[in-house]
Amino acid sequence: MIESIRDIEDLKTFVLVVQERSFTQAAAKMGITKAAVAKRILGLEKIWKTQLFYRNTRKVVPTRDAEMILQKVASVLDSVKDLENSFANKDVLEGTLRVTCVSSMSSNFVSDMIERFQEQNPKIKIQLIVTDSLLDLMEESIDIGIRVGMEVPINLEGTYLFQNRIVAVVSPEYGKTNPKVQSPKDLETHNLLYLDFHKEVRFSETEIRLSDVTRNRNFLSNDAASLVQMGLKGKGVLIRSFWDIEDHIQSGRLIPILKEFPLENFGSVWLVHPMNRTPSRRVMALRNFIESECNLRFNQ
């Protein structure tokens, strides 16, 4: 529990020791003695009731608990810096943001948007956690998550980005050497490439679900990138979120089919952040930037 400004200095000391792996180096950077650093770390270990570092003659190594605590401490220090900047009327954004999304989003649009955001805000450091697991944003001290969902979970604040349209496509080679797909029923004779959680998506204006016309699937994967590669190689009919294959469609490497029977949207893409944490200026700036970028790219 932080009770005074001195505690903030203790937190800064902890972060420096983790970064430097040395009490001596941390002391030099803070302009205090090595003994003072050791006293601050000992005080934190008593407060948190855990050992923070393994010590030997050559270096100090953070324990697993210290690694887990580090992100929360960094978040606290960033909030303090935000407060100081607001009183100083500073317009320059600085500090760290932790962002998470799935790998297909990272490679298709999130990384590009983060790059452009950092070009405008060079003092912002961003940690992008790419995982297909659904992380607890509070537990993992993550500022922003970009997710697909029907609605925003009750413990999160959400900003709508765009509809998650699902499209069926084939490579030009596949289209030339296989029977034409003119209706959903025609898919029964084709090898279908899709993620399992899309199997209940329906074709618009029909009661037909993707699972109803699935007779052939010789390649199943929970990795979207692998499915896309199979589609590009002409191994079947690919069914994917449009944002994952948009570039391939524009380049002509994949051709949309069943335009008269489009698949229904599979939820929407949302930007989310913890509800019980007041967004910092950095979080709000990145949120607004991504929302604007998505509007330009996906909602025209």
Average pLDDT over residues 262-271: 96
Contact 158, 152 (CB under 8 A): yes
Q: Are strands 192-193 and 237-241 parallel, antiparallel or unpaired?
A: parallel
Indicate whether 95 pLDDT > 70: yes
- Residue 1 pLDDT > 60: no
Say which CATH class 166-256 falls into: alpha beta
Q: Are 66 and 57 in contact (CB under 8 A)?
A: no
pLDDT at 141: 81
Q: What is the pLDDT of residues 161-179, one digit of tens each?
A: 999 999 999 999 999 999 9
Task: Decide: 237 and 181 in contact? Cβ < 8 Å.
Answer: yes
Do 5-73 and 95-164+267-298 share a fold?
no
pLDDT digits (tens, 9 = 90+) for 12-23: 889 889 988 899
The C-alpha atoms of residue 80 and residue 82 are separated, in whole angstroms, by 5
Residue 64: partners with Cβ closer than 8 Å, 6 or more residues away: none
Q: Which residues of 18-49 are buried (b: 16+ CB within 10 A; e: fewer)?
A: bebebbebbbeebeeeeebbbebbeebbeeee
Taking each helix axis as running N to C, give the angle between helix 5-20 and helix 23-30, from 0 to 180 degrees, rounded to the nearest 10: 130
Residue range 5-73 in CATH 1.10.10.10: yes
Contacts of 250 (CB under 8 A, 6+ apart): none
Give the model's pLDDT for residue 85: 62
Structure tokens at 26: 């941390």
What is the average pLDDT across 187-205?
Answer: 95
pLDDT at residue 88, as a whole number = 54
Tallying the residues shown for the chain, one arrives at 300
Return the domain boundaries, the chain: 5-73, 95-164+267-298, 166-256
* pLDDT, mean of residues 53-79: 83
Domain 95-164+267-298 has CATH 3.40.50.2000: no
pLDDT of 91 reads: 65
Q: What is the mean pLDDT of the chain?
A: 90
For residue 35, pLDDT beyond 80:
yes
Examine the pLDDT at 276 and tell me if it is beyond 70: no
The mean per-residue pLDDT over the stretch 91-103 comes to 88
Q: Is 225 a residue whose pLDDT tops 90?
A: yes
